Structure 1
Amino acid sequence: IITYTIGSRPAYSLVSEMLEKALERLPENHQLLMHSDQGWHYQMRQYVRTLESRAIVQSMSRKGNCYDNAVIENFFGIMKSEFLYIKEFECIEHFKIELEKYIDY
């Protein structure tokens, strides 16, 4: 995980913030591929243009095909069993703190 954002509802600002944070950490002179699902926010013109401006190739999973993104799908499955299903969270802020600890571990 290079970076992540979290919010209470799906908003483009979450994706754009995540992308900007990721671009700050990634080298500009490497050929990169950004893989995502087909969510509306990954199809927005602003997102696509940002990738194009850095010569990043955009890749999207085929509809209904989890195997296109099997590595991260596996990670999320493990995270749910090790983190989400065995903990109780007092509030969203507590969840965010614990999630950050889990990812940093």
Structure 2
Amino acid sequence: MRLAGIWYRSIKEEHDIKCRRHKRFKVTTDSDHNKRGYPNLLKQQFGVNRPNCVWVSDITYVWTDEGWLYAAGVKDLYTKELVGYAMGKRMTADLVCKALNKAIKDKRPSQELIVHSDIGGQYCSNKYRKIISRHGFKGSMSAKGNCFDNAPIENFWGVLKNELVYHHNYKTRFEAINSIMKYIEFYYNEERLAKHCFAATQGESYARVEREFKRVWGLDRQDNCGLIITVRLRNQNLPSLNVRI
């Protein structure tokens, strides 16, 4: 058995294989309170058509040798970007307020914005609710005990832990904060989302070119003949577009 273990570790090191580590569990949602919340405006309808239309927020936890580190995040449902975040050693209303204020400062959303969260005490606090009210946003909250109502931000935490946290043994909270900040700013919000934005831009470019092509050539009639014309776009990063006429 010992030889098998040595062989297994050598294979992992040779091919740089990293295995997911299961960490200890920590409850972050305290829904056992009498504070007033918001109705669930999303009802698991996560499709939006523009940035700064719906933000979802939540708290997660990371273990370090100094104890728990808590992270509050705010995610844009359209761009998938983490628009705001804050980290600290206590799971307080101040933590979620800092994350939301960072997002507001950086993105300057309109009053049409919906800000969704779970029904935890931090999000039901007077301090957090005052931020929502002061900016004219619409507050929204998950049903009690239903994590699927806040699935997009829960998914982000899962990605963060699988791709980063589970592969580190953080000695200090500062080390964890620095590591997570670099992941968010220089990987997730840049490289990872570039793929998403390119795909969206590519789809929008196709639709726009196809509409303009048909308009110029008078091909937007109902009595088209079913032929397909190949249009080469100037952007060499995009494949050719097939237009049915």
- The alignment's TM-score, normalised by the length of structure 1, stands at 0.88
Structure 1 position 46, deviation (Å): 2.5
C-alpha distance in structure 1 between counterparts of 2:133 and 2:106, whole Å: 17
Give 1:8 shift.
Answer: 0.8
- Looking at structure 2, the residues matched to 54 and 38 of structure 1 have their Cα atoms a distance apart, in angstroms, of 20
Indicate the residue corresponding to 1:62 in structure 2.
143
1:28–1:54 contact (8 Å) kept in structure 2: no
Partners of 1:37 and 1:18 lie apart in 2 by 15
- Structure 1 residue 32: Cα displacement: 0.3
Task: Indicate the structure (1 or 2) with the bigger Cα radius of gyration.
Answer: 2
Match for residue 51 of structure 1 among 91, 116, 132: 132
* Pick aligned residue for 1:91 from 166, 172, 181: 172
Partner Cα distance (1:73, 1:17) in 2: 19
Q: Which amino acid aligns with 1:43?
A: C
Structure 1's unaligned 5+ residue stretches are none
User: Which residue in the other structure is 1:26 paired with?
Assistant: 107
Return the offset for 1:94: 0.7
CA RMSD of the aligned region, Å? 1.5
Q: Distance in 2 between matches of 1:27 and 1:15?
A: 17
Matched residue type, 2:110? N
Letter in 2 for 1:24: K
From 94, 105, 113, give the equivalent of 1:13: 94
Cα offsets for 1:5-50 (capped at 9, x unmatched): 1111112221222222222123253510111111111111222122
More strand, by proportion: 2
Structure with bigger helix share is 1
| Preserved contact between residue 116 and residue 141 of structure 2 (Cα < 8 Å) | yes
Using the aligned pairs only, state the percent identity.
Answer: 35
Number of residue pairs matched?
A: 105
1:101 aligns with 2:179: no
Structure 2: stretches of 5+ with no match in the other structure: 1-81, 188-245
Contact 1:36 1:42 in 2 (8 A): yes
Distance 2:172 2:110 in 1: 41
Looking at structure 2, the residues matched to 16 and 86 of structure 1 have their Cα atoms a distance apart, in angstroms, of 29
Structure with more relative contact order (C-alpha pairs < 8 Å, separation 6 or more): 1
Q: Check whether the contact 2:115–2:140 (CA below 8 A) recurs between aligned residues.
A: yes
Tell me which stretches of 4 or more aligned residues in structure 1 moved more than 6 Å: none
Match of 1:42 in 2: 123
Deviations, residues 48-86 of structure 1 (Å, cap 9, x unaligned): 122112111111111111111111111111211111111
1:28 and 1:103 map into 2 onto residues whose CA distance is 21
